[in-house]
Structures are given as structure tokens and as C-alpha cells.
């Protein structure tokens, strides 16, 4: 983050990241070899974007994964704070820039996929079976990894994102039924699906508990809910950074919870976790619940 800030020269970021560095005892004039390599990697991201620079090979594998995870978060923050979106259309509740914003976020997801996120999607969405509902389908980033036998339906609150998802489905020749709706009030009957999938959804919905209850309601007996979420890291320094950044991130990203406790939310909804896997120092959580 400090490496990116050194290139971008954002005063707010410089103040926040500088304060955090001082709290953890990090000094730019006295970096270790690994810290200097991470700093240079951040500068490379600021110049070329997250898909081009690769973390230094001599760093520990976990350190490399953490750097890639942070680079993805920073790219999303940059897109969320983009100042060049269009003005409001007269007489419309939507913004002219809404579809443009959806395409920008879709581009960020594609960049994340190139640095390893697609493999994670393949495990989560690729494990769907039978009649499948994806809540918060967004721009359809998971459509390319669903198994051939899954009959997919998707629901999302954003009409603009669904427009991009429909375009993707058409290009991939994938049949998918798309609906606009709220995850906390799904327009489907009880016990309609064998699998419910949600990737990076619970962090931003207004009613997490209600959304999980609805997912449970539409799930058939013996079915599974497959989740991919970012969560508060179990590493103390990273978790503290997430906690400190959470209010600002929520304002930039439209309410996304940077440090939410996905495990507790799943348990509180009366679901049982039957499989879990973490990545990037606990920043990403894959979960299967029943």
C-alpha cells in the first residue's frame, strides 16, 4: 500500500497508510529485504495495474499470496472511487454511468481472476449441482465455471450488472435465467434449488441474516450453499488494518463490509458449515454450508 501511495500521491491514502506504518513500527528509511521487495511490487502495481507485476519469487509463498490479495483490494478501491462517472439522467432513478461502473467492476474481477481468483471460483461455483441459484450474480463472473449439468438462475439488485451478465451469457452460449431482486426477499418458492451460490455478496447486502435465511428457505433438503467471501483476517496486523479501513471502504464501495465475520453469520442463520478453506492469510474464505 505504501508503494502504491508513493506513485499515486493521494494525500488521504498517504496519511492513513503512513499512520498505520508508524503504528506497526515500519520505517521507509529502514526496510528489510522482504519489505523493500513488497514496496517495489506496490509501485509496479501503481504503474502497470495488478495483472502485470508478479510478486518477487524469493518471498515466502504466503507473503506472495497476501500481496496479491492486497493488490486486488486496492484495485477495487480505485475503481469504487472513480471520479469520472456520468451524471444522473433526467427523470430516471438510474445513473448514466451505472453500466459503465458495472463494466469497471467487471474488469477488476477479470484482473483478480488472472492472479488466481478464477481457480477459487472454479471450486466454489464449479461444485454446484442440479437446479442452481446464484444470489448477487452481478456481471456473471461465475458463468464460465459452472458445470455443464447445472441449470443456473441468477438474481441481483443491479439492473446494470444484469445487463453485463446477460451479454456474458450470450457470448458464452450459456443458458441462464436472470432476475432483478433482493437477496433478502427472493422471488422463488420454498425448496426450489439443489445449490445456492454466492460470491462476494454477503459483505455488501443490507440484510446479511435475512439473505442467508432466504438462501436456506429456497434450498432443498440435502442441498448446499456454496460461498466465497472476503473476511477479517486471523492475522493480527492485517485484521487491524481491515478494521481501521472498514469505515472508509464502506463509504467508497457502497456499504461493503471489509471485516465482516462470515462464519458467525452463517452459524447464526442456522446453517452448518460442512467445508471451509481459507486463502491469502484468511482474507478469502471458501465455505460449503448445509
Based on the structure, what is the number of domains in the chain?
2
- Measured distance CA(90)–CA(104) in Å, rounded: 23
Q: Which residues contact 5 (CB under 8 A, 6 or more apart)?
A: 13, 14, 17, 42
- Measured distance CA(76)–CA(53) in Å, rounded: 17
Backbone angles phi, psi at 246, to 5 degrees: -55, -50
Cβ atoms 3, 34 nearer than 8 A: no
Average pLDDT, the chain: 77
**47 with 148, same domain?**
no
Task: Write the pLDDT tens digit of every residue in 2-55.
Answer: 777 766 556 666 666 777 777 777 777 777 887 787 777 777 766 655 555 666
Classify residue 279: in a domain, yes or no: yes
Neighbour order of strands in the sheet with 273-279: 176-180, 151-156, 131-135, 193-199, 219-230, 284-289, 273-279
**147 with 211, same domain?**
yes
- Measured distance CA(74)–CA(118) in Å, rounded: 18
Length of the chain: 290
Question: By residue range, what is the domain housing residue 52?
Answer: 2-83
**276 with 157, same domain?**
yes
Classify residue 276: in a domain, yes or no: yes
Q: Which residues contact 214 (CB under 8 A, 6 or more apart)?
A: 135, 183, 184, 185, 186
More confident residue, 93 or 230: 230
Classify residue 91: in a domain, yes or no: no
Take residue 16 and report the three cell numbers written for it.
492513513
Classify residue 111: in a domain, yes or no: no
**148 with 275, same domain?**
yes
Residue 200, Ramachandran bin (φ over 0: left; ψ between -120 and 50: alpha; else beta): left
**79 with 128, same domain?**
no
Helices (H), the chain: 2-8, 11-23, 33-48, 61-80, 98-112, 118-124, 159-172, 208-218, 236-253, 262-268
DSSP 3-state of 101: helix
The pLDDT of residue 50: 52
**41 with 164, same domain?**
no
Task: Write the pLDDT tens digit of every residue in 59-70.
Answer: 777 776 777 666
Q: Which of 31, 57, 83 is the last residue of a domain?
A: 83
Percent of the chain with pLDDT over 90: 32
Handedness of CA 278, 38, 44, 9 (dihedral sign): positive
Q: Which of 50, 83, 116 is the last residue of a domain?
A: 83
**51 with 165, same domain?**
no
Classify residue 184: in a domain, yes or no: yes
**174 with 284, same domain?**
yes
Using the structure block, give the residue that is written with the C-alpha cell 492486497.
Answer: 70
**284 with 195, same domain?**
yes
Cβ atoms 131, 106 nearer than 8 A: no
**153 with 205, same domain?**
yes
**221 with 133, same domain?**
yes
DSSP letter string, 228-258? EEE---SSHHHHHHHHHHHHHHHHHHTS--T
What CATH number does residue 181 fall under? Answer: 3.40.50.150
pLDDT(238) > 60: yes
Task: Write the pLDDT tens digit of every residue in 96-146.
Answer: 347 766 777 777 777 777 767 788 889 999 999 999 999 999 899 999 999
Task: Write the pLDDT tens digit of every residue in 69-84.
Answer: 666 666 555 544 433 3
**137 with 8, same domain?**
no
Amino acid at each position: 500500500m505504501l508503494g502504491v501511495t508513493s506513485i499515486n500521491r493521494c494525500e488521504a491514502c498517504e496519511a492513513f497508510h503512513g499512520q498505520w506504518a508508524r503504528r506497526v513500527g515500519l520505517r521507509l528509511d529502514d526496510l528489510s529485504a522482504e519489505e523493500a521487495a513488497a514496496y517495489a511490487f506496490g509501485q509496479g502495481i501503481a504503474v502497470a495495474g495488478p495483472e502485470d507485476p508478479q510478486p518477487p519469487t524469493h518471498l515466502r509463498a504466503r507473503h506472495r499470496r497476501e500481496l496479491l490479495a492486497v493488490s486486488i483490494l486496492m484495485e477495487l478501491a480505485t475503481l469504487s472511487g472513480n471520479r469520472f462517472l456520468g451524471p444522473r439522467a433526467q427523470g430516471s432513478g438510474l445513473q448514466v454511468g451505472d453500466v459503465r461502473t458495472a463494466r469497471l467492476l467487471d474488469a477488476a474481477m477479470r484482473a483478480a481472476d488472472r492472479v488466481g481468483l478464477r481457480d477459487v471460483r472454479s471450486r466454489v461455483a464449479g461444485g454446484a449441482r442440479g437446479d442452481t441459484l446464484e444470489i448477487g450474480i452481478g456481471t456473471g463472473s461465475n458463468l464460465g465455471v459452472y458445470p455443464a449439468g447445472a441449470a443456473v438462475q441468477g438474481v441481483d439488485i443491479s439492473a446494470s450488472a444484469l445487463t453485463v451478465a446477460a451479454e456474458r451469457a450470450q457470448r458464452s452460449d450459456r443458458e441462464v435465467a436472470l432476475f432483478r431482486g433482493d437477496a433478502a426477499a427472493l422471488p422463488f418458492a420454498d425448496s426450489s434449488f439443489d445449490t445456492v451460490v454466492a460470491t462476494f455478496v454477503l459483505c455488501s447486502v443490507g440484510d446479511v441474516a435475512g439473505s442467508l435465511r432466504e438462501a436456506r428457505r429456497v434450498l432443498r433438503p440435502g442441498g448446499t450453499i456454496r460461498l466465497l467471501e472476503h473476511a477479517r483476517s486471523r492475522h493480527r496486523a492485517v485484521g487491524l488494518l481491515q478494521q481501521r479501513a472498514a469505515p472508509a471502504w464502506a463509504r467508497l464501495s457502497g456499504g461493503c463490509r471489509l471485516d465482516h465475520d462470515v462464519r458467525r453469520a452463517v452459524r447464526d442463520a442456522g446453517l452448518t458449515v460442512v467445508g471451509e478453506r481459507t486463502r491469502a492469510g484468511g482474507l478469502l474464505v471458501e465455505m460449503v454450508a448445509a
